[in-house]
Structure 1
């Protein structure tokens, strides 16, 4: 399982250190990274200072601009096995809702494996991914409501679902108990 006791602040610190290190390695200024990623310079300054709880979509844009994997931004700098991430990357507004990036594997670019928990009433809206990306979901507790554009897909415990993620989609828990699921993002 994941390090639930590790505070979200440690991930912000990893992101801060990694963005700064990777930006310097790419010989980019904050202004150049802001222009290339479409993320404001002010936001990048806050990220590098470890002060900003940033969205997954924003981190994805920064990673793409730096030509690195998303996981390279949130992974602890001293990790021994680079395929094992095991870090909380998103915390919801309802206590207990979270997304933990468990691991990654090489694919065309990579595969990310996430463990998610959405408490009753929690929603996670996701932006469309690039063409060619897909997601694989497996629910192991509760029931997950997946919104694909205007289509509603209910996925109960023990069921799985795959879809092309280059379309608007969101994850929702309409149930009475936590919805826990594994999400593989194939890049």
Structure 2
């Protein structure tokens, strides 16, 4: 898978540029050395949480490790599947800003009854969400909101949250724009 290979190359490049050993980065990210080695070799399929831990340990954001480098004023991007579930749900990263912590444009599809449990993003992070089809159940510790097609929301994503689709009905599709906060304040 192209994104996995690009991720591995970018993690290795940034680790070496920072003067870190595999063990040093693994310790900083809270991962095993074996897992980090497999990621760098492009043989592991890490979770979003794992990629985010590595990014934070390297002092960058998620998009910096997964998106193609931005070298021109206009960058045309192809969607990259970053997450999928056995039920057929998936998350596509369409494009990310060239600047650190800049916006990322995502498209999600959740099959009926499926759920994605997210880990907190860096402090100050937020998402803008627009539901295209179905109903999105957006869960935080404080609230559960059911957003139908055409509804939108702003979510402070620096706390635990989840996306879910109702058990019955059509798949839920939504677009989200993620603006990462500052991981250095963690």
Aligned to 1:65: 57
Aligned to 2:128: 136
Within-5 A mapping of 1:166-181: 166-174=158-166, 175-181=168-174
Asked whether 1:156 is paired with 2:148, we answer: yes
Aligned to 1:117: 109
Alpha carbons of 1:164 and 1:152: their partners in 2 closer, same or farther (altered >3 Å)? same
Structure 1's consecutive aligned runs of 4 or more residues displaced over 2 angstroms after TM superposition are 75-86, 105-109
Structure 2 residue runs of 5 or longer lacking an equivalent are 181-186
Q: Which region of structure 1 is more displaced relative to structure 2, 74-83 or 106-115?
A: 74-83
Within-5 A mapping of 1:1-187: 9-76=1-68, 84=77, 86-95=79-88, 97-105=89-97, 109-174=101-166, 175-187=168-180
Matched positions, count: 178
Match of 2:8, SS state, is helix
Alpha carbons of 1:108 and 1:65: their partners in 2 closer, same or farther (altered >3 Å)? closer
Hey, what's the Cα distance between the residues in 2 that align with 1:41 and 1:135? 32
With structure 2 as the length reference, what TM-score do the two structures score? 0.86
Alpha carbons of 1:131 and 1:69: their partners in 2 closer, same or farther (altered >3 Å)? closer
Deviation (angstroms), 1:150: 4.9
Instruction: Note if contact 1:139-1:157 (Cα within 8 Å) is conserved in structure 2.
Output: yes
Instruction: Note if contact 1:12-1:53 (Cα within 8 Å) is conserved in structure 2.
Output: yes
